[in-house]
Amino acid sequence: MQTEKLKTNKKDKKLNGFSIEDIGDDHLHTGLETPMKADAFKLSDSEKKERIAILFEEIMDVMGLDLTDDSLQGTPKRVAKMYIDEIFSGLNPENKPKVALFDNKYQYNQMLVEKNITFYSNCEHHFVPIIGKAHVAYISSGKVIGLSKLNRIVQYYAKRPQVQERLTNQIANELKLILDTEDVAVIIDAKHLCVNQRGIKDVTSSTVTSEYGGVFKNKNTKQEFLDYIKLSTSFTE
């Protein structure tokens, strides 16, 4: 089987003076925006799935798997469909949630918190899962959005190769933009399988990141938000 060299020469790539080999398993990110090629959407979703299936079939073949086996022969297409339609669907701007703003007719001027938003993402360094919960809050500047849209915004930015720090900031910035306010807070607590399952193999640790804007930088407001997160919600007697 003919193999090609990687398109990027990793030994020549430098980040803050460090090579890829120097960085190793350190989870670095280079900016707020997800790194994308200029022609990222030149191919249609169907074309991407077809291409990914071919390439993943080659990976399986290199690993020595028998692609004629009934259990494996459909795997390349299943993986391609999962990548484009599901776990990495947040890469496509067409899948961005449509958010409608409403006047705050209730005159509710206190903090609104949506906590324990479960999400699944994938580490962009090893393409293994990140599983966590997001807690988001905002104080209306005159406009509000439907509660489910908060969940959908979290899911949209999670469904792509990610770094947790970037995910936290992307969610916060999107809410600030939509709601036209700096009074936004986001906390994410997540387990990284690239830490739990491989590398250091620490199965008990989790990673917490946060972003506080506007009044949430105030000590008392921040503490109020943290206290709400600690509340236990049970719907069973």
Examine the residue annotation and report whether 125 is marked as an active-site residue of this protein.
Answer: yes
Examine the residue annotation and report whether 27 is marked as an active-site residue of this protein.
Answer: no
Q: Which of 57, 125, 162, 170 is catalytic?
A: 125
State how far the Cα of 209 lies from the Cα of 115, in Å rounded to an integer: 14
DSSP 3-state assignment of 144? Answer: strand
Q: Which of 135, 155, 174, 192 is catalytic?
A: 192
Examine the residue annotation and report whether 86 is marked as an active-site residue of this protein.
Answer: no
Q: Which residues sit opposite 113 in a β-bridge?
A: 137
Q: Which of 57, 123, 135, 155 is catalytic?
A: 123
Identify how many contiguous H helices and E strands the chain contains and give both numbers.
7, 9
**Helix ranges (DSSP H) in the chain:** 20-23, 45-62, 75-82, 147-158, 164-179, 193-196, 219-230
Examine the residue annotation and report whether 124 is marked as an active-site residue of this protein.
Answer: yes
Cβ pair 88, 161 in contact under 8 A: yes
Q: Which of 57, 135, 155, 164 is catalytic?
A: 164
State how far the Cα of 160 lies from the Cα of 162, in Å rounded to an integer: 6
Query: Secondary structure of 169-191 in the HEC alphabet?
Result: HHHHHHHHHHHCCCCEEEEEEEE
Q: Which of 126, 165, 197, 224 is catalytic?
A: 126
Q: Which of 58, 124, 165, 224 is catalytic?
A: 124
Examine the residue annotation and report whether 33 is marked as an active-site residue of this protein.
Answer: no
DSSP 3-state assignment of 115? Answer: strand
Q: Which of 170, 174, 194, 211 is catalytic?
A: 194
Q: Exposed, middle or buried by CB within 10 Å (0-12, 13-18, 19+), for 101?
A: middle
Question: Could you give the residue numbers annotated as active site?
Answer: 123-126, 164, 192, 194
